[in-house]
Protein backbone atom coordinates (compact mmCIF):
# COMPACT_ATOMS: atom_id res chain seq x y z
CA UNK A 1 0.00 0.00 0.00
CA UNK A 2 2.78 2.35 0.90
CA UNK A 3 4.34 1.35 -2.35
CA UNK A 4 1.97 3.32 -4.51
CA UNK A 5 2.66 6.24 -2.31
CA UNK A 6 6.38 5.95 -2.35
CA UNK A 7 6.06 5.93 -6.10
CA UNK A 8 4.96 9.49 -5.92
CA UNK A 9 8.40 10.48 -4.82
CA UNK A 10 9.87 9.85 -8.22
CA UNK A 11 9.85 7.61 -11.18
CA UNK A 12 13.15 5.96 -10.32
CA UNK A 13 12.98 2.61 -8.55
CA UNK A 14 15.75 3.64 -6.20
CA UNK A 15 13.91 6.65 -4.96
CA UNK A 16 10.94 4.37 -4.52
CA UNK A 17 12.52 2.17 -1.88
CA UNK A 18 14.18 5.09 -0.21
CA UNK A 19 10.95 6.95 0.18
CA UNK A 20 9.32 3.81 1.46
CA UNK A 21 11.94 3.25 4.07
CA UNK A 22 12.02 6.86 5.18
CA UNK A 23 8.31 6.75 5.44
CA UNK A 24 8.20 4.22 8.20
CA UNK A 25 11.28 4.54 10.32
CA UNK A 26 13.49 7.57 10.01
CA UNK A 27 11.34 10.32 8.47
CA UNK A 28 9.04 12.64 10.28
CA UNK A 29 5.65 12.06 8.66
CA UNK A 30 4.38 15.66 8.76
CA UNK A 31 7.42 16.80 6.76
CA UNK A 32 7.25 13.98 4.25
CA UNK A 33 6.65 15.92 1.07
CA UNK A 34 5.63 12.87 -0.94
CA UNK A 35 2.35 12.76 1.00
CA UNK A 36 1.52 16.42 0.46
CA UNK A 37 -0.22 16.06 -2.88
CA UNK A 38 -2.54 13.34 -1.63
CA UNK A 39 -3.38 15.29 1.50
CA UNK A 40 -4.00 18.51 -0.39
CA UNK A 41 -6.27 16.81 -2.90
CA UNK A 42 -8.20 15.03 -0.15
CA UNK A 43 -8.46 18.21 1.87
CA UNK A 44 -9.67 20.16 -1.15
CA UNK A 45 -12.29 17.54 -1.96
CA UNK A 46 -13.57 17.06 1.56
CA UNK A 47 -13.36 20.67 2.66
CA UNK A 48 -15.22 21.86 -0.42
CA UNK A 49 -17.75 19.08 0.14
CA UNK A 50 -18.14 20.16 3.75
CA UNK A 51 -18.44 23.81 2.75
CA UNK A 52 -21.19 22.99 0.26
CA UNK A 53 -23.07 20.81 2.74
CA UNK A 54 -22.71 23.43 5.47
CA UNK A 55 -23.66 26.45 3.38
CA UNK A 56 -26.44 24.86 1.30
CA UNK A 57 -28.02 22.42 3.74
CA UNK A 58 -26.80 22.48 7.31
CA UNK A 59 -26.83 26.16 8.19
CA UNK A 60 -30.15 26.97 6.47
CA UNK A 61 -31.73 23.99 8.21
CA UNK A 62 -30.41 24.67 11.69
CA UNK A 63 -30.77 28.44 11.29
CA UNK A 64 -34.33 27.93 10.08
CA UNK A 65 -35.16 25.80 13.10
CA UNK A 66 -33.71 28.41 15.44
CA UNK A 67 -35.52 31.21 13.66
CA UNK A 68 -38.79 29.28 13.63
CA UNK A 69 -38.44 28.75 17.37
CA UNK A 70 -37.61 32.41 17.89
CA UNK A 71 -40.65 33.46 15.86
CA UNK A 72 -42.83 31.00 17.72
CA UNK A 73 -41.63 32.27 21.07
CA UNK A 74 -42.09 35.88 20.04
CA UNK A 75 -45.52 35.12 18.60
CA UNK A 76 -46.54 33.28 21.73
CA UNK A 77 -45.26 36.08 23.93
CA UNK A 78 -47.14 38.65 21.85
CA UNK A 79 -50.25 36.47 22.05
CA UNK A 80 -49.84 36.13 25.80
CA UNK A 81 -49.37 39.89 26.12
CA UNK A 82 -52.47 40.47 24.03
CA UNK A 83 -54.50 38.08 26.14
CA UNK A 84 -53.15 39.67 29.29
CA UNK A 85 -54.12 43.11 28.02
CA UNK A 86 -57.53 41.78 27.12
CA UNK A 87 -58.05 40.23 30.52
CA UNK A 88 -56.88 43.40 32.20
CA UNK A 89 -59.27 45.45 30.12
CA UNK A 90 -62.04 43.00 30.95
CA UNK A 91 -61.17 43.23 34.62
CA UNK A 92 -61.18 47.01 34.47
CA UNK A 93 -64.52 47.02 32.65
CA UNK A 94 -65.89 44.58 35.19
CA UNK A 95 -64.68 46.70 38.07
CA UNK A 96 -66.13 49.82 36.49
CA UNK A 97 -69.41 48.10 35.93
CA UNK A 98 -69.37 46.75 39.45
CA UNK A 99 -68.72 50.21 40.87
CA UNK A 100 -71.46 51.81 38.78
CA UNK A 101 -73.84 49.01 39.65
CA UNK A 102 -73.02 49.48 43.30
CA UNK A 103 -73.63 53.21 43.14
CA UNK A 104 -76.78 52.65 41.15
CA UNK A 105 -77.94 50.12 43.71
CA UNK A 106 -77.23 52.60 46.45
CA UNK A 107 -79.12 55.30 44.59
CA UNK A 108 -82.04 53.00 44.02
CA UNK A 109 -81.94 51.96 47.67
CA UNK A 110 -81.88 55.55 48.87
CA UNK A 111 -84.65 56.50 46.51
CA UNK A 112 -86.86 53.62 47.46
CA UNK A 113 -86.17 54.16 51.14
CA UNK A 114 -87.09 57.84 50.80
CA UNK A 115 -90.17 56.94 48.84
CA UNK A 116 -91.16 54.29 51.33
CA UNK A 117 -90.56 56.71 54.19
CA UNK A 118 -92.62 59.38 52.51
CA UNK A 119 -95.38 56.93 51.76
CA UNK A 120 -95.30 55.58 55.26
CA UNK A 121 -95.47 59.11 56.64
CA UNK A 122 -98.37 59.96 54.40
CA UNK A 123 -100.16 56.77 55.31
CA UNK A 124 -99.52 57.31 58.97
CA UNK A 125 -100.81 60.84 58.74
CA UNK A 126 -103.90 59.71 56.84
CA UNK A 127 -104.43 56.93 59.33
CA UNK A 128 -104.00 59.30 62.24
CA UNK A 129 -106.44 61.71 60.70
CA UNK A 130 -108.82 58.87 60.07
CA UNK A 131 -108.36 57.64 63.59
CA UNK A 132 -108.79 61.14 64.95
CA UNK A 133 -111.96 61.51 62.95
CA UNK A 134 -113.21 58.14 64.12
CA UNK A 135 -112.29 59.03 67.66
CA UNK A 136 -114.14 62.29 67.46
CA UNK A 137 -117.10 60.53 65.94
CA UNK A 138 -116.97 57.83 68.55
CA UNK A 139 -116.79 60.46 71.26
CA UNK A 140 -119.73 62.20 69.73
CA UNK A 141 -121.61 58.90 69.53
CA UNK A 142 -120.70 58.15 73.09
CA UNK A 143 -121.88 61.58 74.17
CA UNK A 144 -125.11 61.27 72.30
CA UNK A 145 -125.55 57.72 73.49
CA UNK A 146 -124.91 58.86 77.00
CA UNK A 147 -127.41 61.70 76.59
CA UNK A 148 -129.90 59.28 75.11
CA UNK A 149 -129.13 56.79 77.81
CA UNK A 150 -129.46 59.44 80.44
CA UNK A 151 -132.80 60.50 79.06
CA UNK A 152 -133.84 56.86 78.87
CA UNK A 153 -132.69 56.39 82.43
CA UNK A 154 -134.85 59.32 83.44
CA UNK A 155 -137.85 57.81 81.61
CA UNK A 156 -137.15 54.39 83.11
CA UNK A 157 -136.63 55.94 86.53
CA UNK A 158 -139.83 57.89 86.19
CA UNK A 159 -141.65 54.76 85.06
CA UNK A 160 -140.10 52.76 87.82
CA UNK A 161 -140.90 55.47 90.38
CA UNK A 162 -144.53 55.67 89.16
CA UNK A 163 -144.81 51.85 89.34
CA UNK A 164 -143.20 51.76 92.76
CA UNK A 165 -145.52 54.50 94.06
CA UNK A 166 -148.48 52.68 92.56
CA UNK A 167 -147.47 49.45 94.11
CA UNK A 168 -146.86 51.05 97.44
CA UNK A 169 -149.81 53.36 97.60
CA UNK A 170 -152.12 52.01 94.98
CA UNK A 171 -152.52 55.48 93.68
CA UNK A 172 -151.33 56.36 90.24
CA UNK A 173 -149.12 59.42 90.65
CA UNK A 174 -149.38 62.07 88.09
CA UNK A 175 -146.58 62.11 85.60
CA UNK A 176 -145.52 65.67 86.24
CA UNK A 177 -144.79 65.22 89.91
CA UNK A 178 -143.00 61.92 89.24
CA UNK A 179 -140.83 63.58 86.64
CA UNK A 180 -140.07 66.46 88.98
CA UNK A 181 -139.17 64.07 91.74
CA UNK A 182 -136.91 62.02 89.41
CA UNK A 183 -135.24 65.11 88.08
CA UNK A 184 -134.69 66.29 91.60
CA UNK A 185 -133.12 62.98 92.65
CA UNK A 186 -131.02 62.79 89.44
CA UNK A 187 -129.73 66.16 90.14
CA UNK A 188 -129.20 65.50 93.73
| Residues engaged in binding other proteins (CB under 8 A) | 1-2, 4-5, 7-8, 10-11, 23-24, 28-32, 35-44, 46-47, 49-51, 53-55, 57-59, 61-66, 68-69, 72
Q: Which is nearer to other proteins, 57 or 175 (CB)?
A: 57
Strand blocks (E) in the chain: none
Cβ proximity of 131 and 139 under 8 Å: no
Shortest Å distance, C-beta 86 to other proteins: 25
Which long-range contacts (C-beta less than 8 Å, at least 24 apart) are formed by 4-7? 5/34, 5/35, 5/38, 6/34
CA distances from 82 to 90, 92, 94, 96, 182 (A): 12, 15, 18, 21, 109
Q: Which is nearer to other proteins, 23 or 154 (CB)?
A: 23
Q: Which is nearer to other proteins, 53 or 142 (CB)?
A: 53
Shortest Å distance, C-beta 71 to other proteins: 10
Amino acid sequence: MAESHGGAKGPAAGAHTEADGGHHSGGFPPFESSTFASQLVSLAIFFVLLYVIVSKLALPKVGGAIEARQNKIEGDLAEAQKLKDQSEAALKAYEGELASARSRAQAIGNESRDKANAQADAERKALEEQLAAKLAEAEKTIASTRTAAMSNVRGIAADAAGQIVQQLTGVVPDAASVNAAVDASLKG
